[in-house]
Amino acid sequence: MKKYAFLCFFFFVAFLSAQQTKDSIATNRLNEVIVASGRIDLPLRENSRSIQVITAENIRQSGVTNVADLLQQVAGVDVRRRGVEGTQADLYIRGGSFDQTLLLIDGIKLEDAQTGHHTLNFALPLEVIERIEILKGPAARVFGQNAFTGAINIVTKSALSTKAVLAARVGSFEQRNGEATFGTSNENTSLLAHYSVKSSDGYRFNTDFTNHNVFLKGQFNRATTPIDVIASFSDRKFGANGFYALPSYADQYEETQASLVALSTRIQKDKWVFKPRLYWRHGQDMYLFLRNNPSFYRNLHITHKVGASLDASYYSELGTTGLGIDLARVSIDSNNLGERERFVTTLFAEHRFQLLDTKLDITPGIAVSHYTDFGTQFFPGLDIGYAVNPTFRLYGNVGYTYRIPTFTDLYYSDSTTVGNENLNAEEAITEEVGFRWTKNKSQISMAVFNRSAENLIDYIRPIAEGRFEATNIRKVNTQGIELEVKTQFISGNQPQLFTLGYTYLNDDVEQINVDFSRYSINSLRHHLTFNQVANFNKNLSLTWNYKLGQRPQRDAYHVFDASLRYMIRAVELNLSFFNIFDEVYSESNLVPLPLSNGTLGLRFAF
């Protein structure tokens, strides 16, 4: 029955797409977003992968104040938060772990050799983000290491539409947020600067926090060959009640820092486009088991990544060729993990063939990575797409993907856990088929996927009294289906936006002959999101969000948020409410999330 329902839905969408008019096709193309996640820049409608784009306008209308909460509104993206304002959160895509998801800023890869647990420490303030590109599925041949289940690329603004933006917000749990963003631009130069501070006394014992963010971006020589310079810094100090170890350990504490400095440009010469980058990424993590007794147990980890990359594309009658090289040195200095380093060299190659009067595209590609501590690996992939007509596209892709162990997997040691220097890389083959239908301001997309993973790292112990040791032991087959419906229409002479997303995941975990295992599949089996932006007039709008989440052996939870915006010229008043109906739930380590709470914000642009 489900199969027939799917086929009926599929052909119904195909029928609708056939009714597309030439005028609406032209409108579609004018408003298309160019996706920059890769060596070959393509409009979203021409991509043969599952990609979602969150624009700056979507961000403004969302009612949230940080990237972690924003990504909560995307089905298939599981952000497991511990507290408010994204103080500490882990990023998962399609059931993968936080070590299997890659974050990029302007195409710069920010994986952490210590642990992917710190990925979202690098997330930028919303005010400086132009858009967020979410790529789901196998992405190793596109990005290399850590893009096991997907990748998220944050694209920053080049300039502000105004000279400055000042904002302040107060709310439950003594939240106090303030930020200032300044920008200037002319024909040849643009500058953007941002500073923000967020603090709270906490919604329960030992969950207070103070977060600082600084972001700078300059673009020079814009008229010819633009040169981009960016620098970001994040500093977070927070009580970590039950965040790690057993939930009953209430006195934990953590301080993290995340820094990025990067230089990039784009050079176009005849049929060639070159994108060179230089960057330095720095992370620091200080953890105390007892906040008021640092000598009892303290970990300090300092990581560095220094890298250079060059992406190139060549346009010819045979299609588009993408080439790339990425060189990086990663290192860590830790009182627990020791002093470690590795050098990584990755080569990329792909070619996009266009056949049948450009309706059919076939893109084979491969990445070759060499690690000084893990040897050489080859990771091929293939994308295929067919444009039934200008509004309806079928696509499929298959890829081999991987993740080498982090330094934590290899070398961590405490009284209950020990790493394993003999670990192998995690591996998977992922297949996906789907379609995307776009007409005017509406879009429907659906994908079905399968991931066969092996050598997944589990922590096991042969006897009850022993320590958990990292071991390559698990095999997991993950099947899933995703649906997204997005439409914008006019009602009462005002634009209205409606978005619906749903993801279903089924993890088939191979049983192992071990009595004591720490591995636990805790994916969102059912993940439903709904978002509506209702504009009553040019001054007043209401945004409300709904999320349903259900994990294996856990009850489903339902969370409702709402945000009311009132704008008078350059002034915006924002009233937001979260978890309106007091849903009791947790997303990670049984840490309870706050009951109903709210914030009141004021934003002034001039």
Each residue of 283-330: pLDDT tens digit? 999 999 999 999 999 999 999 999 999 999 999 988 999 999 999 999
SS3 percent helix, strand, coil of the chain, rounded to 5, is 10, 60, 30
Give the whole-angstrom CA distance, residue 99 versus residue 576. Answer: 32
User: Which of the two residues, 12 and 605, has the higher pLDDT score?
Assistant: 605
DSSP character at residue 413: B
Q: Which has the minimum average pLDDT: 40-44, 130-134, 188-192?
A: 40-44
Percent of the chain scoring above 90 in pLDDT? 71
Residue keyed to tokens 């899933």 = 480
User: Which of the two residues, 512 and 124, has the higher pLDDT score?
Assistant: 124
**pLDDT of the residue at 81:** 94
Question: In the predicted model, is pLDDT for residue 20 greater than 60?
Answer: no
Please report which confidence band the pLDDT of residue 463 belongs to, taking 50, 70 and 90 as the band edges.
low
Question: In the predicted model, is pLDDT for residue 272 greater than 80?
Answer: yes
Tokens coding 472: 């390559």
Q: What is the mean pLDDT of the chain?
A: 89
Task: Give the per-residue SS3 of 436-461.
Answer: EEEECCEEEEEEEEEEEEEEEEEEEE
Question: In the predicted model, is pLDDT for residue 480 greater than 70?
Answer: yes
Q: What total number of domains does the chain contain?
A: 1
Residues 6+ apart with CB under 8 A from 27: 440
Where helices occur in 100-153 by DSSP H, the ranges are: 140-143
Question: In the predicted model, is pLDDT for residue 69 greater than 50?
Answer: yes
| Domain enclosing residue 136, as ranges | 2-605
Question: In the predicted model, is pLDDT for residue 508 greater than 90?
Answer: no
Question: In the predicted model, is pLDDT for residue 28 greater than 60?
Answer: no
Q: Are 404 and 379 in contact (CB under 8 A)?
A: no
Question: In the predicted model, is pLDDT for residue 7 greater than 60?
Answer: no
Burial class of 424 by CB neighbour count within 10 A (0 to 12, 13 to 18, 19+): middle
Give the whole-angstrom CA distance, residue 494 versus residue 534. Answer: 8
Give the whole-angstrom CA distance, residue 267 versus residue 277. Answer: 12
The tens digit of pLDDT for each residue in 395-433 reads 999 999 889 999 999 999 988 889 999 999 999 999 999
**pLDDT of the residue at 11:** 36
Question: In the predicted model, is pLDDT for residue 9 greater than 70?
Answer: no
Tokens coding 134: 């979410």
**pLDDT of the residue at 516:** 60
Please report which confidence band the pLDDT of residue 160 belongs to, taking 50, 70 and 90 as the band edges.
confident
The residue ranges of DSSP E strands in 101-157, in sequence order, are 101-105, 108-109, 129-136, 150-156
Percent of the chain scoring above 70 in pLDDT? 92
**pLDDT of the residue at 513:** 62
Predicted TM-score (pTM) of the model is: 0.91
Tokens coding 369: 């990575």
Burial class of 256 by CB neighbour count within 10 A (0 to 12, 13 to 18, 19+): buried
User: Which of the two residues, 140 and 419, has the higher pLDDT score?
Assistant: 419
The tens digit of pLDDT for each residue in 224-259 reads 889 999 999 999 999 999 998 788 899 999 999 999
- Average pLDDT rounded to a whole number, residues 217-221: 94
What is the torsion angle, in degrees rounded to the nearest 10, for the CA atoms of residue 266, residue 215, residue 573 and residue 201?
A: 150
What is the torsion angle, in degrees rounded to the nearest 10, for the CA atoms of residue 27, residue 153, residue 235 and residue 284?
A: 180
The domain that holds 139 is classified in CATH as 2.40.170.20
Please report which confidence band the pLDDT of residue 604 belongs to, taking 50, 70 and 90 as the band edges.
very high
Give the whole-angstrom CA distance, residue 139 versus residue 208. Answer: 37
Give the whole-angstrom CA distance, residue 184 versus residue 160. Answer: 7
The tens digit of pLDDT for each residue in 91-123 reads 999 998 899 999 999 999 999 889 998 999 999
Give the whole-angstrom CA distance, residue 101 versus residue 149. Answer: 6
**pLDDT of the residue at 574:** 95
Please report which confidence band the pLDDT of residue 26 belongs to, taking 50, 70 and 90 as the band edges.
very low
Please report which confidence band the pLDDT of residue 32 belongs to, taking 50, 70 and 90 as the band edges.
low
* Torsional sign, CA 581, 585, 588, 592: positive
Tokens coding 338: 């020791």
- Average pLDDT rounded to a whole number, residues 203-222: 96
The tens digit of pLDDT for each residue in 517-565 reads 666 678 899 999 999 999 999 999 999 999 999 998 889 999 999 999 9
**pLDDT of the residue at 34:** 74
Give the whole-angstrom CA distance, residue 195 versus residue 210. Answer: 14
**pLDDT of the residue at 517:** 60
